[in-house]
Amino acid sequence: MIIDLNNIKSDPFQNKVFDICICGGGVAGITLAVNLSKQFNVALLEAGGFEYSEESQEVYKGRIIGREYYPLEETRMRFFGGSSNVWAGFCRPLDYYDFEPKKYVEYSGWPINRNDLDPYLEKAKSILDIPDDKEAPKDQFTHLLNKSADFKKIDFWFSKPTNFGEKFGNEITNAENILCCLNANVTDIILSEDLSRVKKIKVQNYAGKSYMLNVKTFILAAGGIENARIMLNCNRQIKEGLGNSTGLVGRFFAEHLHYAVGELILEDRFRNCNEIRTYAAPSERFMQKENILNLGLRIIRCNQNSSQYSFKMKIKNILCEWSPDLVESVFSSKCRYADQLMDRVVRIISEQAPNFSSAVLCDAEVDKFKMRRAALDWTLSPIDVRTIKNGVIHFGKTVASLGLGRLKVVQWLLSEDPKFPGIREDETGGNHHMCTTRMGTSPKNGVVDSNQKVFGIGNFYVAGSSVFSTGGHANPTFTIVQMSLRLADYLNKYN
């Protein structure tokens, strides 16, 4: 059943106790609601309506106080379906290595491993409408790349992309055990007197009318920035906010760094390799040897006409490009062939190391519900820069040594202290907001435990990419679905 809190006369929550209350009708919240409603009565609270509205989206406004980033009201969606309304559909589980602690990365490692999520892989693929695996065409480029000890070809799956609001809207409407409330803004989480359990949830519609829900279990699934903002704002009973006894809520904000890092010319024998995109990633051995993080390279076909030039001719043109001054002086014209050379553009999607200084904080300015707005202090670490620089240069050496082609690395990356392009010059990030309520082994290194339960609060869970301990390089949606299925499984068994 779905109701709109903006258009309701009586209190829909009066005299009711919900087994499960979920804040957030995005990928995580909808997956949880659908998979918990067989056993429990569920309240699903969505802050927006069925469609985009300025009124709801405005609540997402915030301030960028660190490294340049997208406006906070543009980098996420605040209506039913959440950011699945706008995503691109890239899917891939995290690598086994992503879960392991690394001696060279502080706070690295998860309390769970990839085997804990693998049982949910097939169901996640089904939810995300990922077609059955087709055998990838075998091409010589891939075959040779896999001979490298340092890089390997990787695959992505592609969702339609699934819009969770559209896919599950009818099921939720017809579900007897789900009460989905649109335009329901969670403005307080009220704990029991001994502060050990969530007791009530306060919600408000856009007219400011308040309602209270009695809950047995509460799951916060409002997104990587909003989860932290809500926990920090709910500080009426605990001054530092909920789950924040060690000051980690909002900390460790991580993104996937997205940049064009080079252009590739292919040797002639790969001209018939028509794959539009090829994906590569470093081996574990290489990451350990170089002390770098995980990264993905997207090698994208860019120039259909370039095949008219042979590989040797392209190399000659490259050599001409070395000496524009000489060409200028001798022939009074510059050698300009570069735009006709390139066969592939290479983009990187790179992991960011856990970084306490990179954080979602609360600003002084408040939204219409008197909740402090988000202030994003996104910060990088030296290892983030080193990962991109070493990874790309070594990929260039790998493709050259394997006889695949030659890579031209963008100039800014080769400088001693690379200054990354800004958001007007390149993508910068993937709109992936991760790790702000990270999973840890104790409150010293995390906000939630291995079952996504907030340390110290018995019936308070967090879902979504905010609970990632680290981000790997894969787009987060697939892992969000896997982890939501795992949490639903846990609550169905033990709640």
Partner 1 sequence: MTKHTRREFLSFLFSTTATCFLSAPLLNLSTEEGDDDFIQVNGWILKKSDLYV
CB of 411 to partner 1, least distance (A): 6
Interacting span for partner 1 (CB under 8 A) from 28-36, 408-416, 470-478, 483-491: 408-416
Residue 200: CB minimum distance to partner 1, A: 60
| Residue number with CB closer to partner 1 (345 or 410) | 410
**Residue 84 phi, psi dihedral angles, 5° rounding:** -70, -10
- On the CB side of 275, how many CA atoms lie within 13 Å of its CA? 19
CB 229 within 8 A of CB 376: no
What is the sign, positive or negative, of the torsion defined by CA atoms of 420, 424, 426, 428?
A: positive
Structure tokens at 272: 């018939």
324-339 burial: b if 16+ Cβ within 10 Å, else e: eeebeeeeeeebeeee
From the list 146, 173, 274, 401, which residue makes contact with partner 1 (rule: CB under 8 A)? 401
Per-residue x/- track, 378-397, partner 1 (CB under 8 A): ---------------x--xx
Cβ partners under 8 Å of residue 205, min gap 6: 5, 6, 183, 184, 185, 211
Query: Is residue 410 close enough to count as binding partner 1 by CB under 8 A?
Result: yes
Instruction: Estimate to the nearest angstrom the gap between the alpha carbon of 42 and the chain centroid.
Output: 26
The phi and psi torsions of 283 (rounded to 5 degrees) equal: -75, 160
Q: Residue 260 interacts with partner 1 (CB under 8 A)? A: no
Scanning residues 285 to 344, which ones bind partner 1 (CB under 8 A)? 312-313, 315-323, 325-327, 331, 335
Cross-strand partners of 311:
none
Contact 280, 151 (CB under 8 A): yes
Choices 12-20, 54-62, 164-172, 405-413 (CB under 8 A): range interacting with partner 1: 405-413
CB of 319 to partner 1, least distance (A): 5
CB of 325 to partner 1, least distance (A): 6
Q: Which is nearer to partner 1, 12 or 418 (CB)?
A: 418
Q: How far is the CB of 256 from partner 1 (least distance, A)?
A: 24
Q: Nearest approach, Cβ of 38 to partner 1 (angstroms)?
A: 56
Phi, psi angle pair for 64, to nearest 5°? -95, 115
| Shortest CB 142 distance to partner 1, Å | 20
Beta strands in 79-119 (DSSP E): 90-91
- CA separation, residue 73 to residues 54, 61, 229, 231, 234 (Å): 10, 5, 14, 19, 21
Residue 76 vs 314, nearer CB to partner 1: 314
Closer to partner 1 by CB, 286 or 468: give it. 286
Identify residues 95-154 at the interface with partner 1 (CB under 8 A).
Answer: none
CA torsion angle for 417, 350, 425, 396 (degrees, to 10)? 70
- Would you count residue 407 as binding partner 1 (CB under 8 A)? yes
Residue number, 169 or 396, with CB nearest to partner 1: 396
Restricted to residues 413-432, the positions that interact with partner 1 (CB under 8 A) are: 414
Interface residues toward partner 1, by CB under 8 A: 262, 312-313, 315-323, 325-327, 331, 335, 393, 396-397, 400-401, 406-411, 414
